[in-house]
Amino acid sequence: MQRDTRQRRAIRRVFMSVGRPLTPDEVLEHGQRIVPSLGLATVYRNVKALADAGWLSLVELPGGGLRYELAERPHHHHFLCRSCDLAFDVHKCPDEVEELAPEGFEVDGHELILFGRCAECR
């Protein structure tokens, strides 16, 4: 059975308040402001459980480590800051992207990533 622990609540709260994709390390950092004793293993366990439960989804951006974000959000893409390495949401999407595939290829999804410097880093 699933228990509602302090650390699980903190992790959920982090995702809801931050509103952008987070790596496990980022989750740990933010989560420790709520539950200082939070450990990395707990973050990995919960983030995985929340993803299995469909509450989080996996975001794979260039540059190593996986990130997670709230699932069930409207279609969107991402901006990756080359300076601070944080990922942000981009709430617009060019149309008809999936028609760009070569002849004979079957497309079932796409990801658009913008690179640059975020408002903070400029």
Partner DNA sequence: GAAGAGATGAGAATTGATTATCATTATAGG
Partner DNA sequence: CCTATAATGATAATCAATTCTCATCTCTTC
Binding site for DNA (CB under 7 A): 1-8, 23-24, 35, 37-42, 44-46, 48, 64-66
Partner from a copy of itself, DNA, none contacting 86, C-beta within 5 to 8 A by type: none
The minimum distance between CB 3 and DNA, in angstroms, equals: 4
CB pairs under 8 A, 24+ apart, for 60-66?
A: 60/111, 61/21, 61/87, 61/113, 62/113, 65/23, 65/24, 65/25, 66/23, 66/24
- Single residue of 12, 35, 77, 85 touching a copy of itself by CB under 8 A: 77
By beta-carbon proximity to a copy of itself, the closer residue of 74 and 102 is: 102
Cα–Cα distance measured from residue 111 to residue 69, given in angstroms and rounded to the nearest whole number: 14
- Single residue of 14, 27, 61, 86 touching a copy of itself by CB under 8 A: 61
42-76 b/e (C-beta count within 10 Å ≥ 16 → b): bbeebbeebbeeeebeebebeeeeebbbbeeeeee
By beta-carbon proximity to a copy of itself, the closer residue of 56 and 61 is: 61
The residues of the shown chain that bind a copy of itself, judged by CB under 8 A, are 60-63, 77, 79, 82, 88-98, 100-119, 122
